[in-house]
Amino acid sequence: MRFIANLRRQTLDAFASHLVSADGYLLSAHRITNPNLQLAVEVRNRGLPLFADNGTKQLIDSVIAKFSQSARAVTLEVKMLRRQLGHLPRGREVPLSLRKQADALAESVLTDCTERSESIDTNQLIQRQLSMNPTDLIAQEDFTSTCLVALDLEREITGWSVERIAARNRRSLRLWQKVAEHRLCQGLTTYAVLSAMDYNTARHAGQLAAEAGVSSAAMGLAGVCGDLNATDFYVSGRASFKLARPVPRRYVRLAQVLKGIAEGYRDRNATLQRFHCLGLGAPSLLPIAAAALPAETTVTADATSPIHAAAKDRVLYDPENFGDRASTKEIVERILNGGNWPFLSPFTKSFKQRFGHDPEGARRWWTTLGNPSISREILREPSDLTSSLPLFCEADQQVRPIARDTWIAHNHWVLGELTEGRSGPQRREFAHRIIDHWLDGPLTTTSRGLGVAKRILLD
């Protein structure tokens, strides 16, 4: 499995300056500018893979914004039912009025998505993607299912059949066919973008893709990974499985859809040569993809999450704990209480050599002041603490942007370490080792989710 970094000056320069080889880069069609095209030239000159994404994210965001308020009304009613029933409603437990409301809203979403998608000039999109001189090209897609997931319009509420989602995949496959047959795309690896909401829709998607001759497929997983809801059941085939307690739906859905895709290909005795996970970058979710997909499938993933985790959340991935998230505040508290941070990535190592790292000085400051609680405000105020731990503090205006870029590069490096150099059975074995690491630790929301994901993958 390989992690493909989003193409930014930060990511390209950081890796190059430390003589670290990235697995590849991705640039989306909606982010084409002259400076970014120059970055693309640099990537190709270095002989690295370059993925040209289709730029659908902006359209998806627009649809979600348009329908979020109407969808919220459905979600609130579902939550009320859940409290009354003691579990998620489905089947006959969903009142007919709610079913009709959700179905009508989902139909409106479908219509809007189709209109936006059909407004795209396919040839113009291909030309924009080809201007990057990519090695891999993500074909245009039908993104209705992605929007339904993001709006919580689940099939158990709308009553939508597997066939309703299959129709969206047939449209995506027709869009892929246009790209695959385009004279200028010959020689490129072109990915058909499939969609699914659960195991049954994913298995059907895999069957359809195999029948169409797709050997390279992708799926947009940002909505799946960003789902903050919980579920207390899942369906596989005709069987329904009740969970002892609710777990995050993102773990359940990710395991189901990727297993479904793989088994759909197996049903048709076809080989899925390559699979790209669009928007999958959370360290605790990556091993699900690595374990779910066939050993013979080359698996890649990309996401902006390592950038957002650093720049927005001030989070570094812990290289000693399979990428477990740790905020700068938590890291400082760990150090003050006698622990430390592993400077294992080349980026944190060079930062430490340049700016220093003095845990004992930080602890003396803390003890002298009577062990005060650590806040973000304290980490931004000049003191012996912030000068002792410059990587995790933001008091020095000149060092702050350097530290921020270091966090971003470090997070990408950790994801690369979690995926690099492993393929076939070895990839799947390592993935299960990461999952077991989480399961052997304290009982958390993450471990509960991974526990159900493992159960799904092994059934």
Tokens 């090695």 found at? 135
Q: Given a cut of 80, is residue 426 above it in pLDDT?
A: yes
- pLDDT greater than 90 at residue 22: no
Give CA–CA dist 118/133, Å, rounded: 25
Q: Residue 453: what residue type?
A: A
Whether the pLDDT of residue 431 is over 90: the answer is yes
H or E segment to which residue 218 belongs: strand 216-220
Between CA 88 and CA 80 the distance in angstroms is 10
Q: What percent of the chain has pLDDT over 70?
A: 99
Beta bridge partners of 6: 26
Q: Model confidence over 387-412: pLDDT tens digits?
A: 999 999 999 999 999 999 999 999 99
Read off the pLDDT band of 108 (50, 70, 90). Answer: very high
pLDDT given for residue 6 in this prediction:
93
Q: How far apart are CA 367 and CA 286, in angstroms?
A: 40
Burial class (CB in 10 A: 0-12, 13-18, 19+), 38: exposed
pLDDT at 425: 84
| CA distances in angstroms from 189 to 16, 398, 430, listed in the order given | 25, 43, 27
185-221 per-position pLDDT tens digit = 999 999 999 999 999 999 999 999 999 999 999 999 9
Mean pLDDT value across residues 66-92: 97
**What are the E-state strand segments in 63-198?**
136-138, 189-194
Length of the chain: 459
- Inter-residue contact 393 to 374 (CB < 8 Å): no
pLDDT bin (cut points 50, 70, 90) of residue 153 is very high
Q: How far is CA 326 from the centre of its chain?
A: 18
Q: Would you state the pLDDT for residue 421?
A: 57
Q: Can you give the pTM of this predicted structure?
A: 0.95
pLDDT digits (tens, 9 = 90+) for 306-319: 999 999 999 999 99
| Mean of all residue pLDDT scores within the chain | 96
Pairing of strands 324-327, 216-220: unpaired
Contacts with 314 (C-beta within 8 Å, 6 or more apart), sequence order? 327, 328, 329, 376, 407
Q: What is the pLDDT of residue 422?
A: 65
- Say yes or no to pLDDT of 420 above 80: no
Contact (Cβ atoms closer than 8 angstroms) between residue 74 and residue 105: yes
pLDDT digits (tens, 9 = 90+) for 269-294: 999 999 999 999 999 999 999 999 99
Tell me what the mean pLDDT of segment 331-352 comes to.
Answer: 97
